[in-house]
Amino acid sequence: MDLILCAWTIVGLLFAVRRIMVVRVQGTHVSWVIVGAPEFVYWYVWAAYTPLVIGLAKRFPLTGPRFVPHIAIHTITSFLMAPLGAITEYFLSRVLLQSVFA
């Protein structure tokens, strides 16, 4: 679990720095918390879902004679997880930003 959190933290840091740099290049004042925190929320949501994805990959491997049914399971799961991740990120970001501006 520590490796998963570390990996997603690095990804979040890269995306937060990218977003901060874009805002700075546009000449706008940057609040590191307001600009960077939503990036970490987004990537930490995926960090939380990573064990589920790994479990799915182990339970339904994309090899062997059951390849077609397993690819269907992976496809359906991805169509469910993407909106679930977006909804989770939305509500966590709202709570975070409300606490910053409260």
Q: pLDDT 10s digit of each residue in the chain, 102 long?
A: 789 999 999 999 999 999 989 888 998 888 887 778 888 999 999 999 999 999 999 999 999 899 999 999 999 999 999 999 999 999 998 887 787 776
Total of domains in the chain: 1
Domain ranges, residue 17: 2-101
pTM of the complete model: 0.79
Residue 4: the pLDDT is 94
**Which residues touch 52 (CB under 8 Å, ≥6 apart)?**
81
**Which residues touch 50 (CB under 8 Å, ≥6 apart)?**
4, 8
What are the angstrom distances between the C-alpha of 83 and each of 78, 86, 90? 9, 5, 10
Would you say how long the chain is, in residues? 102
Residue 102: the pLDDT is 65
- Given CA atoms 25, 30, 34, 39 in this order, what sign does their dihedral have? positive
8 within 8 A of 39, measured Cβ to Cβ: no
